[in-house]
Amino acid sequence: MTKIWPLSKTPASPAGIRWPALLIWTIAWALLFLLDPLLDLANLSMLLLLGSVAASLWLTPAYSIAASTVFVVAFNWCFIPPRNSFHVALDKHLLLIVTMVVVNGLIAALMVLQRQAAIKVSNHQQRTTFLTSVSHDFRTPLSTIIGIASSLQEDFRLQGDQRRLHQMSVILEQSNQLNRITNNVLQLVRLDEKALDLKKDWESAEEIIGAAVHLCRQRVPGRTIEAGVPQQLPLLWCHSLLIVQLLENLIDNAIKYSPPDQPVRVTAVKDGKHIAFAVTDKGQGVAPELSKTIFEAFERLEPERLQLWQMQGPTARGVGIGLTLCRAITMAHEGSITLTAQPGQGSTFTVRLPIRDNLSTPREV
């Protein structure tokens, strides 16, 4: 699969990030020799430990642990009696040496992991801020373009100008596609917030499927989309607009990766303590090695895997966040989403949402 990144960041070279650590170790060892006549062995070992912690801020875990071990051995040679020897008095200094090796290694590894976690959080916040800003900036001009294009499309229809009517239809179609991508990005960023509180209510699975199918039929009127929902399904405690968006993305995905003469089927059934929504297509399916990463952000099939029908039409383009949003919506409802597919035999995405007791679930006002 092809991974599309919204931002590119070139990491610093390993040699570049080791220079501060080398400087810190040099200062630490200079202080060890300078303070050797003034401090006892325990205080000198604390100075070595301090240098290990500070240097770990610029080293990988492997480099940090290796450097700490080498410098503990050097400390033994230079400062632990008998000096200029690796011999250690078992009754006096063996425990000190072992403790220094273990503590230096643990602290070095913890400092590196903490630094990597901080970098990951910072990158995530930058990406979220970037996506939110860009998406918000897109919405106003997109709304203006869609409004004007709709008006001009109606004017050309009344005038019978088929050439300009077709051109305006293409503009409107692509603008709506970009608007859907923008909405998906904003929704994905919103669902990524830890303190998100969804406004849920009791909803009918039949109405949710009906709304999603209606939106997709409007967008691709020539495509057959079948829906099947048994009677007397329990009500769902959910955010209806999000579940509609989830199914809409799955249906769009099924349309994109299946032949135009094959139907897409959407169903909902009771499955134990869950309601299972399933979207099934009769396309080329997904290889087992790709099913593991298909829900990751900005993942798309390689261009050579796409068929001719996937290169055309209103659902042919995307940035690879539709299925990621589906997973985020499912997780926000404490559900699960799975893919069942075999190459050449189509795919089925199944979303399982929990059935809640309407006596124990508070109704939000």
* pLDDT greater at residue 13 or residue 61: 61
CA separation for the pair 255, 270 (Å, rounded)? 25
Question: In this model, does residue 41 exceed pLDDT 50?
Answer: yes
Q: How many domains does the chain have?
A: 2
- Return all residues near 80 (Cβ < 8 A) that are at least 6 apart: 41, 88, 93, 96, 97
Domain annotation covers residue 365: no
Where does the chain show beta strands of DSSP type E? 2-3, 201-203, 225-228, 236-238, 264-271, 274-281, 299-300, 336-341, 347-354
Q: What is the pLDDT of residues 161-178, one digit of tens each?
A: 888 888 888 888 778 777
Domain shared by 147 and 214, yes or no: no
Q: What is the pLDDT of residues 187-213, one digit of tens each?
A: 777 777 655 678 889 999 999 999 999
For the residues 129-134, what does the mean pLDDT come to? 66
The domain in which residue 262 lies consists of 201-354
Domain shared by 207 and 128, yes or no: no
CA separation for the pair 255, 287 (Å, rounded)? 18
| Confidence class for position 243, pLDDT limits 50, 70, 90 | very high
Task: Convert 296-315 to b/e letters by CB count within 10 Å (16 or more is b).
Answer: ebebbbeeeeeeebbeebbb
Domain shared by 229 and 308, yes or no: yes
* pLDDT greater at residue 334 or residue 48: 334
Domain shared by 126 and 271, yes or no: no
Last residue of a domain, one of 165, 196, 227: 196
- Using DSSP's 3-state secondary structure scheme, residue 295 falls into coil
DSSP string, 194-229: TT-----EEE-HHHHHHHHHHHHHHHSTTS-EEEE-
Per-residue pLDDT, 106: 74
Per-residue pLDDT, 221: 85
Per-residue pLDDT, 330: 92
Question: In this model, does residue 295 exceed pLDDT 90?
Answer: no
Domain shared by 155 and 25, yes or no: yes
